[in-house]
Amino acid sequence: MGVFTKQSELSVGKLTEGEIIDRFVAALADACPPFPAGPGGDCAIFPAGQERPFRVATIDSVVFGRHFDLACSGEKAGAKLIQRNLSDLAAAGATPGDALLSILMGPDVEAKWLEDFAHGAGRAAARAGLKLVGGDVCRTAPGTFSATLAVQGFAYRVLTRRTAQVGDVLFVTGHLGGSTYGHHLNFQARLAEGEWLCGQGAVTACTDLSDGLGKDLPGLLGPKLDALVDLKKLPISEAATKLARQDGKPALEHALQDGEDYELLFAVRADQADFIEATFAKTFPGTPLTALGTIAKGSGRLCDAADQQPIKAQGFSHFG
So what's the pLDDT on residue 188?
Answer: 96
Percent of the chain with pLDDT over 90: 75
So what's the pLDDT on residue 303?
Answer: 94
So what's the pLDDT on residue 44?
Answer: 60
So what's the pLDDT on residue 242?
Answer: 95
Helices marked H in the chain — which ranges?
A: 17-28, 74-92, 111-128, 191-198, 213-221, 238-247, 251-257, 273-283
Number of continuous H segments (helices) and E segments (strands) in the chain:
8, 10
Q: Encode pLDDT of 259-284 as tens digits.
A: 999 999 999 999 999 999 999 999 99
The DSSP string of 169-224 is EEEEES-BS-GGGTGGGS----HHHHHHHHT-TTEEEEEE-SS-HHHHHHHHH-TT
This prediction has a pTM of 0.88
Confidence of residue 317 (pLDDT cuts 50, 70, 90): very low
Pairing status of strand 95-105 against strand 169-173: unpaired
What's the average model confidence in pLDDT over 86-91? 96
Q: Which residue pairs from 197-200 have beta carbons closer than 8 angstroms and sit at least 24 positions apart in sequence?
A: 197/93, 197/159, 197/264, 197/266, 198/92, 198/93, 198/94, 198/155, 198/156, 198/157, 198/158, 198/159, 199/93, 199/156, 200/268, 200/272, 200/276
Reply yes or no on whether the pLDDT at 319 is more than 50: no
19 conformational bin, left if phi > 0, alpha if psi -120 to 50, beta if neither: alpha
Q: CA–CA separation, 33 vs 207, rounded Å?
A: 30
Q: CA–CA separation, 133 vs 99, rounded Å?
A: 6
What would be the CATH architecture of the domain defined by 12-155?
Answer: 2-Layer Sandwich (3.30)
What's the average model confidence in pLDDT over 94-105? 95
Q: Indicate the domain borders of the chain.
A: 12-155, 169-304
Q: Encode pLDDT of 138-175 as tens digits.
A: 999 999 999 999 999 998 889 999 999 999 999 999 99
Q: Which fold has domain 169-304?
A: Phosphoribosyl-aminoimidazole Synthetase; Chain A, domain 2 (3.90.650)
Measured over the CA atoms of residue 311, residue 315, residue 317 and residue 320, the dihedral's sign is positive
Q: Encode pLDDT of 113-137 as tens digits.
A: 999 999 999 999 999 999 999 999 9
Confidence of residue 251 (pLDDT cuts 50, 70, 90): very high
